[in-house]
Amino acid sequence: MAASGSGDIGDASRRPGRPGLSIAALLQRLGWKFCGAEGATAGRLALQFALTYSAFATVWIFGGDYLLHRLVADVRLAADLQTAKGTAFVLATSYLIFVLVRSRMAAVFGASVTLRESVERLGFITENAKVGYSHWDAATKHIEWTAVGKRLAGIPPDERMTFARFLDAVHPDDRKQVNSAVRACLNATTRPSYHIEFRVIWPDGTQRWIEALGSATFDGNEPIRIAGISFDITERRQADDALRQSEARQRSLLEATSAMTWSCPPDGSHITPNAAWMEFTGQSASDMLGRGWSTAVHPEDGEDLAEAWDDCLARGVPHAATARCRRHDGEWRWMSVSAVPVRSASGEIVEWFGMHIDITERKELERRLKDALEAANAANDAKSQFVANMSHELRTPMGGVIGMLEVLLRTPLSDEQRDHVSTALKSARDLTHVLNDVLDVSAVEAGKVSIENRPFDMREMLSEKLTLFGARCAEKGITLTANVEGDVPQWIAGDVRRLCQVMHNLIGNAVKYTDGGKIDVIGRFDRERGRAHIEVRDTGIGIPEAMQANLFQRFYQADPTPSRPYGGSGLGLAICRQLVELMGGEIGASSSPGVGSTFWFEFPTLECDAPGDDQDSEAADTQTRSLRVLVAEDNLTAQRIIQTLLHSLGHDATIVNDGAPAVAAAASGAFDVILLDVMMPGMDGATATREIRALGGRAGGVPIIALTADVLFGKDQRYLSAGMTDYVSKPIDVALLAAALHRASAHTNFARTRA
């Protein structure tokens, strides 16, 4: 590795005026030095062997010649022996050289194999461990990098490596740091190693983090080599960055929520708070020893908080509570207190981490919302009472108008007079219908509409509606038909009164907006889904597509102009939607201008058994035996109307003007049915009913039918719980009154049979 992008690392080791090397030092550097201690020992042995062999050769050559001259007189024999001696010496010397050379070559070959195996093992380790290795040789100024090292730096494996090329791969912001670290390790005085982390940029622009370690080897003050290794630590740096970001987010979150954190040992023996808690309460760390934290908790909350905390410690589950804590200035603040156990890898709790969050503003908001809810409920109750009062005040006089007109129609009249009375009666009923729509909307908003679930016959219900609208359709030349598909059971469960109200609105609208043509009412039953489906199809004027989305909104009318040819309050369809939704169903429509409209609704229902003998039915035969009826009504006009209607139905009526006289009259047990006005100035209907029920026997068991102008009556449990058995709404409809009396008669007969 080089010390800079332009220089050579060897330049840093040159010193001016350096003395020359001695011959001994040169020999030592060239040979013995690199052998080390083992090399010196081998040299001494070789010298000893050479000296010994030289002495042996000298003795053998010169000593042998002397002995031959002394011992062998024959010159020819002496020459032959001298030749044999020389030949033996040469052979022995050759054999000795052969043995030594073979031994040396075997050692060298073995060392070479060992070295190759070591290099292979080191290469395998570095390759699989993804460790790069670099080496700079001071003598040759050559830099070597392993393939892993080049790969980590993003340098092709076949490219020649220089330090300048390496620096080109380093991120520009980190080059100075890398260059300085490598240059510093060449300092012969301090001789530091380097350990740095830096970024490299691959050719595709990817940035990777590298960790590098290395050091230099010196001969005296002269560097010999620099060796280093490198690792890819990108994932670790990313994990560290993610951890730091997470910690920063947590700190920001705690600061944003004004949270005060703390920790404690597994047994919860003492709390270690953070600075925010001590600043908030004014307590010191020593004040928190043991259960010192409890002194900052409101006396009314301290015991419950301590019990909850002990329970969480015992069970090892998270702790959550709210309590008031005293601030350093003495103000009590609401705190959300929470703590979670911190577990080791084995699942053992090693500590608890908790926090306090100031929720005083939230508590104040909750208090205000609670007060607002109570005020809204009070207003709703007042509204309900207002609706009840207005219902009574408006429907009672309307009942008088309609009732007297109906009574008048039952007297001898000329054709012209009968036409005038019929017109007035129709107008009064139309006005009542508008009034009922307004009151029904108020009742639904007040939550005072109940949904019953009783057996009824869909075919009979639709047949009644056809009968009701038959005359009006005949006047306009409209063909009105009903078709109930064969798979519809005879008896299904639902609120037949509310269904009749929806059907009345839908068929009434179809008649209103159809001039000639036909109206078809279709009923279906889906057994799989458990839903009944009813459609009303007409060939009327139709509705523009832009207006269809608002059809079921209150007070919406397709033609809102004062000169529109069709009247209405704009509430009928809104009431239908609310009632169907209360039943758990849905309603919709489709229409084309000039072609006609289809309104449909469906509601959940199931096939059921026929109603019992004691259950009421709107379809009951209204032909009832003559009954003795006690009527309690404070309005004189209403008294006259009811009495006239009862007489026209063949019943005998006795009239009283308050609840107390009604109780006294009922005590005689002479009446079959009691008609009891709900709102009377003395004793109201509910009180009178309870007192009549208290009579016991036949007198106490007489059916009591409420007479009410209160649109919310059907939802008011006070009257039903008092013992009333039925009710008839004002203005009184003769057919509904007759049906109620029939139900009462059936109840009376059933009671007598049981008795």
Q: Could you read off the pLDDT of 731-749 as tens digits, one per residue?
A: 777 778 888 888 888 765 5
Phi then psi for residue 515, to 5 deg, are -110, 95
Max avg pLDDT among 11-25, 128-142, 290-304, 688-702 = 688-702
pLDDT at 538 over 90: yes
**Measured at the alpha carbon of residue 388, what is the angle toward residues 383 and 391, in degrees to the nearest 5?**
120
pLDDT score, position 619: 39
- The more confident residue out of 285 and 479 is 479
CB 1 within 8 A of CB 181: no
Tokens 């009944």 belong to 532
The DSSP result for 412-428, as a single string, is ---HHHHHHHHHHHHHH
The DSSP result for 467-492, as a single string, is HHHHHHHHHHTEEEEEEE-TTS-S-E
CB 653 within 8 A of CB 670: no
CA 166 – CA 230 distance, rounded (Å): 13
**Residue 366: strand, helix, or coil:** helix
CB 714 within 8 A of CB 666: no
Half-sphere CA count of 284, side-chain side, radius 13 A: 2
- As a whole number, the mean pLDDT across the chain is 78
Mean pLDDT over residues 54-63, rounded? 76
The neighbouring-strand residues paired with 604 are 531
CB 618 within 8 A of CB 496: yes
pLDDT at 403 over 70: yes
pLDDT at 12 over 50: no
The DSSP result for 215-241, as a single string, is EEEEETTEEEEEEEEEEE-HHHHHHHH
Mean pLDDT over residues 614-640, rounded? 70
Give 261-277 pLDDT, tens digit per residue: 888 888 877 777 777 77
Mean pLDDT over residues 278-285, rounded? 81
- The more confident residue out of 317 and 292 is 317
pLDDT score, position 170: 92
- What confidence tier does 603 reach under pLDDT thresholds 50, 70, 90? very high
Mean pLDDT over residues 83-99, rounded? 77
Q: Considering only 371-380, 556-565, 675-684, which range has the smallest mean pLDDT? A: 556-565
Mean pLDDT over residues 433-450, rounded? 66
The neighbouring-strand residues paired with 631 are 655, 675
pLDDT at 468 over 80: no
- The more confident residue out of 402 and 107 is 402
pLDDT at 287 over 90: no
pLDDT at 675 over 80: yes
Give 493-529 pLDDT, tens digit per residue: 888 878 888 888 899 889 888 988 899 999 999 988 8
Mean pLDDT over residues 111-133, rounded? 66
Q: Considering only 184-198, 472-486, 540-554, 682-696, which range has the smallest mean pLDDT? A: 540-554
Mean pLDDT over residues 10-19, rounded? 41
- What confidence tier does 448 reach under pLDDT thresholds 50, 70, 90? low
pLDDT at 674 over 90: yes
- The more confident residue out of 443 and 688 is 688
pLDDT at 209 over 90: yes
pLDDT at 171 over 90: yes
